[in-house]
Amino acid sequence: MDKKEGRWSGMTPGQAFETVYRRIRREWKTAFLTCFLLGLLIHMPALISDIPNHDGLDSMYFHQNMITSGRWFLSVACGFSSYYTVPWLIGILGLAFLGCAAAALCELLEVRRIWAVALVSGLLAAFPALASTFAYVYTLDGYMLALLLSVLSVLAVRKRRLGFVPGAFCLAFSMGIYQGYLSFAMILAIFALWMTLLDEKLSPRDRLLASLRYLYMGVLGGGLYYAILQALLWIQGKELDHYQGIDGLGGGFLSGGIPEALGGIYRDFFTFSLRGNVLFTNAFSLAAWCVLGALAAAAAFFLIRRRKCWKNPLLFAIIGLTLLLLPVASNIILVVSPDVNYHLLMRYQWVLYAIGAVALISGQGGRTERGAWMEWLGLAAAGTLVFCYGVADNIAYSNLQKRYEKTYAYCLRLLDRIEQTEGYYHGIPIAMIGVVGDEQFPVTDITLPVTSNMIGLSGDSLLYTGKNYQLFIRHYLGATLNVLPEEAMEDMYMSEEYMAMDSFPGPDSIRVIDGVMYIKTENVNR
């Protein structure tokens, strides 16, 4: 192509597209298409249905202005798909962002072999944390954009000498959408740091300077995020709320002492990894992780031996220290609040350990018989994980469908009883909570061995608050109830009349007392 042909001016759209397409590496195309298409295959049940979880009931239309939770860019990130819950459109956008993240991830980790590129993308698309995020589909596209930005923040540092500047902006805007993907960037920064330290082409001084840029990016990005947050809070006249301890911003980490806090972080890391019922969903996934771990350890040994890294004790010490810091990076959310309710969608970063293993194994190459065997075993183990996680995701989606059906049947019966109760009229104040009594309606969820830790996808019911009832009946049964706010019902639960009532569907579970309809759904007398 001559200079004239390479100019954008005068090009037709077809010529411009062809020029751009030729510049896209084969690995990037493979990564994007594998992630996107496999994501469609695995998560199609969530894309073609309109099944909410408990939070989704309140987000059929949601402006996503969650600046009081520190998410000052979420409203913009979710604005592309409108603020309505339209699963197909949101899902397609989310998977497109995730496909770009897969391509960026392969470029960052220098994954060149097509089998490894496909499996890196497959792991990213199949990991159960993504299914848990699909349960909150109304915000999925924004969250996937945040994940993409977190990968780009590290990639920018890796590829450019001054990349820590654009990298800091990417990190700040990623956190401005959802702070949970900070761990994703931190783990990738540690991986990139190892690659820099083991780069034989760099002098010791260049390795040090290149390594420090990841620190610059993190400090600058965190500072920029906080500065923008405080400025927007001041402009809107708001304050950070108490949700998930966001208003503490690290105070909880220091309140109990650093050793105790670090102990909690490491305990949570190993408890979730070994007993979280997510990484190991069955014997096949357990065996696959064992094989991947053994192959990654062998690949690391051969790499260190080939490059004679033992001759540099300082290098060994730095790698060892950062290895010990991986659990802290994985659980950085606990620095904000040790008592955070740690949802599975906050643990997407665990997939990076499997992805890192694939990248390390593929880096050994197939030039020798040993390398070829390692690649075949790595392909089998990672492919098994992708399949097992895809199965687990669909088990969870099957249960989500059943949760909706059970909730629909329950609310249909409840609404009929409400309307048949003497004294009922449209608009009557209704006092109720959201727990479904497990004596009258015992647990029927048979997926708990797989879904117990997949928040938003496990359990029997979508109802946890009185407002959940109100919204479900409004959106899916076409009726409106005047359910009182919780603070208006505090005295109700201690009254003799309430404690004497039956729990629904008991004959005395709904009463009209002093102009208020009391509905008792739970099986506990307070």
* Chain segment 237-261, per-residue pLDDT in tens: 888 876 555 555 555 555 556 777 7
**Measured between alpha carbons, how far is 411 from 423 in angstroms, rounded to an integer?**
20
What whole-number percentage of the chain has pLDDT above 70?
91
Q: Which helix (H) or strand (E) holds 518?
A: strand 516-519
Is omega for the bond preceding 429 within 30 degrees of 0, making it cis?
no
**Measured between alpha carbons, how far is 67 from 225 in angstroms, rounded to an integer?**
12
* Chain segment 129-183, per-residue pLDDT in tens: 999 999 999 999 999 999 999 999 999 999 998 999 999 999 999 999 999 899 9
**Measured between alpha carbons, how far is 23 from 26 in angstroms, rounded to an integer?**
9
Tokens in use for 300?
């690391």
Closest CA to 383 of 132, 30, 116: 116
* Chain segment 297-331, per-residue pLDDT in tens: 999 888 888 777 667 778 878 888 999 999 999 99
Q: What's the Cα-to-Cα distance from 382 to each of 55, 279, 295, rounded to whole Å?
A: 33, 12, 11
Q: Cα-flanking dihedrals φ and ψ of residue 18, to 5°?
A: -65, -40
Q: How many CA atoms lie within 13 A of 317 on its CB side?
A: 3
Q: What's the Cα-to-Cα distance from 332 to each of 157, 171, 175, 262, 347, rounded to whole Å?
A: 21, 15, 13, 10, 11
Average pLDDT over residues 398-414: 91
Residues contacting 118, CB < 8 A, separation 6+:
30, 31, 34
pLDDT of residue 338: 64
* Chain segment 483-518, per-residue pLDDT in tens: 888 777 777 777 777 788 888 888 888 888 888 888
Lowest mean pLDDT segment, chosen from 81-85, 271-275, 365-369, 463-467: 365-369
**Measured between alpha carbons, how far is 509 from 502 in angstroms, rounded to an integer?**
5
pLDDT of residue 1: 43
pLDDT of residue 130: 96
Average pLDDT over residues 44-72: 86
SS3 308: coil
* Chain segment 95-138, per-residue pLDDT in tens: 999 999 999 999 999 999 999 999 999 999 999 999 999 999 99
In the chain, domain spans: 20-394, 398-519
Q: Report H helices in 237-282.
A: 251-255, 258-275
Q: Full-prediction pTM beyond 0.85?
A: yes
**Measured between alpha carbons, how far is 25 from 107 in angstroms, rounded to an integer?**
10
